[in-house]
Amino acid sequence: MNEQIQVMISEEEVKARITELAEQISKDFQGEEIIAVGILRGGVYFCTELTKRIAVPVILDFMEASSYGAGTESSGQVNITKDLIEDIAGKNVLIIEDIIDTGRTLSLLLENLRARGPKSLKLCALLDKPERRVVEVAVDYKGFVIPNKFVIGYGMDYDQKYRNLPYIGVLEE
Ligand code: IMP
Ligand code: MG
């Protein structure tokens, strides 16, 4: 294997931006409680680093989903492979995801969670790749907007590898 990794966003830059996002979220939810929903598996590193820095009470939960039927069905379907433990009815829900690419998975997931009657439902993504968007998704809190490149690290994988890199990189062969 001769894969070279080029750093796109350094560990320090990621950490500084996460601190800013956490401060903004803490302000916006002052006096409230949040159910933080980390999306497995890619959102895990971002979720733990972000929630550690949030100053209001946080209940941590996780969900795993995959979308299918994209392109063939008009609305597609979301396949929930691990559901929440918490009941989110009447609660503030903050979805924490690694990257919004086509937006397919998140739009379906948002629809699914909205049907459970949360008090509020917000989306926080570390990265946004707007050039690839197929379905419009409102990202309430975003770390970085990046060009259309395949990135790895900080939870994101290539063939299930590289998730544990402490920075965001681009694979070059
Ligand atoms: P989409 O927005 O429904 O297309 O799916 C987004 C998901 O695809 C993310 O949660 C990631 O798991 C994965 N993904 C999209 N772009 C990248 C990338 O550049 N690197 C690694 N995973 C990616
Ligand atoms: Mg993901």
Q: Is 159 a catalytic residue?
A: no
pLDDT value at residue 1: 54
Record the tokens describing residue 145, joined without a space: 């907007």
pLDDT at position 83, please?
A: 97
Q: Is any atom of ligand 1 closer than 6 Å to the C-beta of 96? A: no
Indicate whether 44 pLDDT > 50: yes
* 101 C-alpha to ligand 1 centroid (Å): 5
Nearest to 80 by CA among 50, 116, 49, 48: 116
pLDDT for the residue numbered 70: 45
Q: What is the pLDDT of residue 9?
A: 98
Q: What is the DSSP string of 142-173?
A: EEEE--S--EEBTTB-BTTBSTT-SSEEEEE-
Tell me if 42 CB under 6 Å of ligand 1.
Answer: yes
Question: Ligand 1 in contact with 51 (CB < 6 A)?
Answer: no
pLDDT of residue 78: 77
Is it the case that residue 168 has pLDDT exceeding 70? yes
The single residue of 101, 128, 140, 159 carrying the catalytic annotation is 101
CA of 62 to the centre of ligand 1 (A): 17
pLDDT in the model for residue 68: 61
Q: What average pLDDT does the segment 34-46 reach? A: 98
